[in-house]
Amino acid sequence: MFFNINKLALGVVLIAGSISSCKKLLVIPQNPPSSITQQEQFADSATTMSAVAGVYTYDPGSGFAYSDGSLTYCAGLSADELSPIISNDVQQFYSYNLTPLNNEVTNLWGYPYQSIYEVNAVLSGITNNNGLSTSFQKQITGEMEVVRALYYFNMVNLFSGVPLVTTTTYAATDRLPRSPATAIYAQVKADLNDARKKLTATYPSAGHLRPNLYTAVALLAKVNLYQGNWQNAYNEADSVIRLGGYNLEPNLNNVFLDGSVEAIWQLPANALYNVYTDAANFEPQYAGATPNYQVTPFLLNAFETGDQRLQNWIGSTSVQNQTLYYPSKYKNISPTATPVEDQMILRLGELYLIRAEAAAHLSNLTQALADINAIRQRAGLSPNPADGASQTTVLNAVMRERRVELFCEWGNRWYDLKRTGTAAAVLGAEKTGFSANAELYPLPQTQIQLDNLLIQNPGY
């Protein structure tokens, strides 16, 4: 409509959008060229395996959390295993002045949740899916539950209670409070107990790169140990050791290699250069280079004389006439076509020590000592004498053996100090600045701002 009043122009334009008549003219493909929809992703077992492969991909954020090695060095700095040479964000773990703006803390919180989302997405994609066989659904469900349990187990040990997310619907998860630690542990155990029913002893693929029945049982043993359920922990560790078909690697330098007989669950470092990040983080990059982290004198002095683990698992280098020691369980820093070393998630050595600790608490001192001695013998040490041993001395021996066997692996020392209630005594004596509040990491500041139901840990 256009009124042409002489000096006054008035225009009205009206466009009503109606696409219904255009439908037949346009054929819109279902998905953009470089991605597929969720329905297509879980249409059959082959495409589902791509999503499963995504869960195991060696990349925190889009794949397997903790594959950047940050749990190892952050928890190692918080405990008495490592001291930093380079400062900034990691220094705060060592000197107990962490702030909620710390970048490492943001990733220790964020990456697992991104990975948990992927796991939940696979679980929802395969449940009640008629395109997949029942046995396939069972297998994948079991595997995903083990992965999710691993993440929540580490989250609850680093932060205490965290939001419990088991669905991919963001409207249900964007405003969640922190669930109490007991609820998180309950979820971990529920996942592992269900996985036990679904998984078999046979590994679903070549090597020990995906969880099987004994992976679930081994992780459950560790969880029960942490909760003080000694009998369950004993039984579960026992079944893995006796029935799993694993062996302790006699040569210390072979323990962390791809294909190690000691591996219950390993993750291949399939990345651009196929170098596992612990090696990249800890090994000096060239002869005479300063390593990023030093092993503390406390850890060095914890080794007995003749302990081959000091020779084989701790490296030393001379920088400006000073000898510096660094963790060297993973040594390969040269790019290779296929990974030489895999990220060890669970290994038999740890299970021996779990059984030993559970046995000691159940007053089965003979069994406890036998297990400790199996580990000691592999390390080239003489066995611990049995006579005069009381429950206390055996427990101390177990904790001591855990310290020198499991150092710089998955935060074991940090978790052990906290769960035994000895963190304040041990760390308070060795370093300054430790307080009870330092036992938990702060929640990232950005997360609290995005979900105001999250309450910060005390002291931050």
Amino acid at 171: A
Nearer to another protein, 7 or 24 (CB): 7
Min CB(17)–another protein separation in Å? 4
Place of tokens 């651009």: 272
Nearer to another protein, 90 or 398 (CB): 90
Min CB(96)–another protein separation in Å? 9
Q: Do residues 161 and 180 lie in contact, with contact meaning Cβ atoms separated by under 8 Å?
A: yes
Q: Rounded to an integer, what distance in angstroms lies between the CA atom of residue 160 and that of residue 442? A: 10
Min CB(63)–another protein separation in Å? 6
Q: Do residues 122 and 55 lie in contact, with contact meaning Cβ atoms separated by under 8 Å?
A: yes
Nearer to another protein, 100 or 411 (CB): 100
Q: Rounded to an integer, what distance in angstroms lies between the CA atom of residue 103 and that of residue 148? A: 23
Distance of CA 408 to the CA centre of its chain: 13
Q: Of 426, 441, 158, whose CA–CA distance to 296 is shortest? A: 426
Nearer to another protein, 142 or 349 (CB): 142
Q: Rounded to an integer, what distance in angstroms lies between the CA atom of residue 448 and that of residue 460? A: 12
Min CB(324)–another protein separation in Å? 19
Nearer to another protein, 209 or 368 (CB): 209
Nearer to another protein, 114 or 311 (CB): 114
Q: Tell me how far apart the terminal alpha carbons of the chain are, to the nearest angstrom.
A: 66
Amino acid at 46: A
Nearer to another protein, 175 or 197 (CB): 175
Min CB(29)–another protein separation in Å? 9
DSSP for 106-125, please give it.
HHHHHHHHHHHHHHHHHHHH
Which structure tokens are listed for 409?
């692996």
Min CB(108)–another protein separation in Å? 11
Q: Rounded to an integer, what distance in angstroms lies between the CA atom of residue 338 and that of residue 159? A: 35
Place of tokens 């597929």: 36
Min CB(189)–another protein separation in Å? 21
